[in-house]
Amino acid sequence: MLNDSWVEYLLIRATILALQSVGPLSTAYAFSLLLQAFILPTNETSKPLQLIANLLVSVKPLQWYCFAEAAFYVFLRYYRIHLQGEAIHPPLRSKVDRQALFQNVRAEIHDPTRFISGWFRGAEIEEIGRDDLKDYLSWAFWEGRTTAEDEVELEEITKEVEKMIGKRKFKPGRGSVKSIRLTLDHVEMDHRSLLWYSIILLIDTTTHLRLLIYGMRYYCTLPTSFGVFPPRPLALATASGRSPAPKLSYWLRPHTSKTRLPVLYLHGIGVGLHPHVEFLHQLDAKLNANTPPNDQVGIMCIEILQISSRLTHSILDRSEFLTQLTQVLDQHDFKRLVLLSHSYGSVLSTHMLTDDAMAARVAATLMVDPVTILLHMPDVAYNFTARAPTHANEWQLWYFASKDPGTAHTLGRHFFWSQNVLWRERIMELVDRGMRLTASLSSRDLIVDTEAVGRYLVNHEIPDPVLLKDKKANQEHMELEVASKKKKEKREVGEAWKVRKFGGKGLEVLWWEDLDHAQVFDQAGSRAKLVDVLVEYSRSS
């Protein structure tokens, strides 16, 4: 991520403006050429075929390029409409499961007013209509598929939320603001040009070659080789074999060690593995330098092209992802492994950790910039999809991630929060079974409320409900308890968890002061620390 300086701000704004202008300017220029050729011919007796022939003969290379950009611009206008198709939702929960989910969320809300306001894009409670609140709750717990039979239950949950809010009241009927409902809202994307995808093609090719040079092997599939734009000329030409999974391609450093565990990496949103090639090479060197051929630690990197600035098939749903990943892991005998994920990759790692069969394979986990912990809070959804950018890093996130067509479609039609959230209860259950888990958090993360995530993981800071009959006494008691708790934390606990050294046991947090989302991979010191964690996990798990 960029830092918040004027130079970087001006650079990112100029870059975005230039990339956004390619399609419209090319279309306008192409239209003007057609206008000159067909609408304003100097020879009134010219026939259409003759006009076309004359135009083709006279067109220069730059003009052909503008025609291509114009055609692609028109195509993406249609593609925007295509992205609005309805999401294929997972099966609805039973009433018992739905009530349990609501109670889980309710128990972990520190500030109900801030919680609701965040999901309504920062609006005041008085601006929110009661019917709008019910629409949000319908999405949150029914995925927008409530029926007449669900109205009684929906009304009960609505009243519970009103009790949580207290004195402040929602407007009757509809208000002036709408909530964030990812899988139901309009999918917002920004146009991409052929020039941009040419850059992606170059990045993909360079990344491919670098990984080959570093000893990685590529396992392709037909959809990830041919069913993707921009094209991937090296995908089949340099593949070591076909993936056993029909829609999961991956890179592999073969695993031969009998005493150490391999590493599985799930990357985040961006341009694929390109930003992490040196990190992976550094990890490989630390794991396998000066070791014999029969004691090499494998590294597997799954390609997630849907969030890598590509146009391709839809991302696999949770069930299909787990099925196909199992096929890949079985093919290479990854019976036990160390799991590494970054940002959106934590969604896929959460799918693994919440599945008992798959979680049994995971000996240890390192989650870098995870977005699934406290996912029921509005921070991640608001910061990634609804926040108006103002700073350089926010503009970078907005254009190159949030508004990318593939990423926007993945988040808008395939991101089901209740499937993707990783509860602390589940983490502690896995830790009690022997799994070790480290979360790497950065203080300036522009997507995740890392301070809250760190305290949630380490101290499980959830206020216990105080049940007093007298409302005034209850309020006073709550205020005193909060003030007392803050003083106690400052006096006894403070920021100790942020500076605690990595011990390789149980649940731990790595805290990076003054780093933003993904910047942990940019600096040699922080990158080396992540490598040390993975080496320790591989060796002693």
The pLDDT value given to residue 4:
83
- Taking alpha carbons only, the member of 183, 179, 83 closest to residue 413 is 183
Final residue of a structural domain among 47, 82, 117 = 82
- The residue among 247 and 55 whose pLDDT is bigger is 247
Residues 384 and 279 occupy one common structural domain: yes
Count CB-CB contacts under 10 A for residue 501: 7
Share of the chain above pLDDT 70, in %: 89
Check if the beta carbon of residue 229 is closer than 8 Å to that of residue 311. yes
pLDDT at residue 407 is higher than 90: yes
φ, ψ for residue 437 (rounded to 5)? -140, 130
Over residues 259-289, the pLDDT tens digits come to 999 999 999 999 999 999 999 999 999 999 9
Residue 89: inside a domain, yes or no?
Answer: no
Residues 100 and 77 occupy one common structural domain: no
Residue 363: inside a domain, yes or no?
Answer: yes
pLDDT winner (highest mean) among 163-167, 206-210, 451-455: 206-210
Residue 178: inside a domain, yes or no?
Answer: no
Residues 371 and 453 occupy one common structural domain: yes
pLDDT at residue 524 is higher than 80: yes
Residue 87: inside a domain, yes or no?
Answer: no
Residue type at 11 in one-letter notation: L
Beta-strand pair 311-312/337-342: unpaired
Residues 215 and 119 occupy one common structural domain: no
Cα–Cα separations (whole angstroms), residue 144 to 137, 160, 243, 532: 8, 19, 37, 45
Domain residues for 415?
Answer: 194-540
Number of helices and strands in the chain (H, E): 23, 11
Per-residue exposure over 36-66, b if at least 16 CB sit within 10 Å of its own CB, e if not: ebeeeeeeeeeeeeeeeeeeeeeeeeeeebb
Residue 123: inside a domain, yes or no?
Answer: yes
Lowest mean pLDDT segment, chosen from 44-53, 107-116, 163-172, 509-518: 44-53
Residues 109 and 232 occupy one common structural domain: no
- Taking alpha carbons only, the member of 325, 324, 367, 323 closest to residue 347 is 367
Residues 361 and 414 occupy one common structural domain: yes
Final residue of a structural domain among 54, 82, 110 = 82
Residues 133 and 260 occupy one common structural domain: no
CA–chain centroid gap for 95, Å, is: 29
If pLDDT is split at 50, 70 and 90, which confidence band does 467 have? very low
pLDDT at residue 172 is higher than 90: yes
The pLDDT value given to residue 32:
86
pLDDT at residue 73 is higher than 90: yes
Strand order in the sheet with 436-442: 241-242, 217-220, 250-253, 299-302, 263-266, 337-342, 362-368, 436-442, 507-512
The pLDDT value given to residue 494:
57
* DSSP 8-state symbol, 504: S
Residues 255 and 145 occupy one common structural domain: no
Over residues 316-334, the pLDDT tens digits come to 999 999 999 999 999 999 9
The pLDDT value given to residue 460:
80
Q: Provide DSSP, 323-352.
A: HHHHHHHHHTT-SSEEEEEETTHHHHHHHH
Count CB-CB contacts under 10 A for residue 345: 25
Count CB-CB contacts under 10 A for residue 168: 13
pLDDT at residue 41 is higher than 80: no
pTM for this prediction: 0.90
Three-class secondary structure of residue 27 per DSSP: helix
Question: How many Å apart are CA 306 and CA 193, to the nearest integer?
Answer: 17
Report the chain's mean pLDDT, rounded to a whole number: 90
Residues 74 and 213 occupy one common structural domain: no
- The residue among 187 and 478 whose pLDDT is bigger is 187
Secondary structure of 264-314 as H, E, C letters = EEECCCCCCCHHHHHHHHHHHHHHHCCCCHHHCCCEEEECCHHHCCCEECC
Residue 133: inside a domain, yes or no?
Answer: yes
pLDDT at residue 49 is higher than 80: no
Question: How many Å apart are CA 241 and CA 298, to the nearest integer?
Answer: 17
Q: Which residues pair with 299 in a beta bridge?
A: 253, 263
Residues 349 and 411 occupy one common structural domain: yes
Report the domain count for the chain: 3
pLDDT at residue 89 is higher than 70: yes
Over residues 150-167, the pLDDT tens digits come to 999 999 999 999 999 998
Over residues 213-262, the pLDDT tens digits come to 999 999 999 999 999 999 999 999 999 999 999 999 999 999 999 999 99
pLDDT winner (highest mean) among 176-190, 460-474, 479-493: 176-190
Which domain CATH number covers 270?
Answer: 3.40.50.1820
Lowest mean pLDDT segment, chosen from 39-48, 101-110, 136-145: 39-48
- Taking alpha carbons only, the member of 449, 445, 459 closest to residue 490 is 459
| Structure tokens that stand for 390 in this block | 């103002």
Residue 88: inside a domain, yes or no?
Answer: no
Residues 148 and 39 occupy one common structural domain: no
Check if the beta carbon of residue 338 is closer than 8 Å to that of residue 538. yes
Final residue of a structural domain among 55, 82, 109 = 82
Residue 170: inside a domain, yes or no?
Answer: no
Three-class secondary structure of residue 214 per DSSP: coil
Residues 270 and 310 occupy one common structural domain: yes
Check if the beta carbon of residue 330 is closer than 8 Å to that of residue 492. no
Residue type at 515 in one-letter notation: L
The pLDDT value given to residue 496:
87
CA distance from start to end of the chain: 33
Tokens 């403006």 sit at which residue? Answer: 17
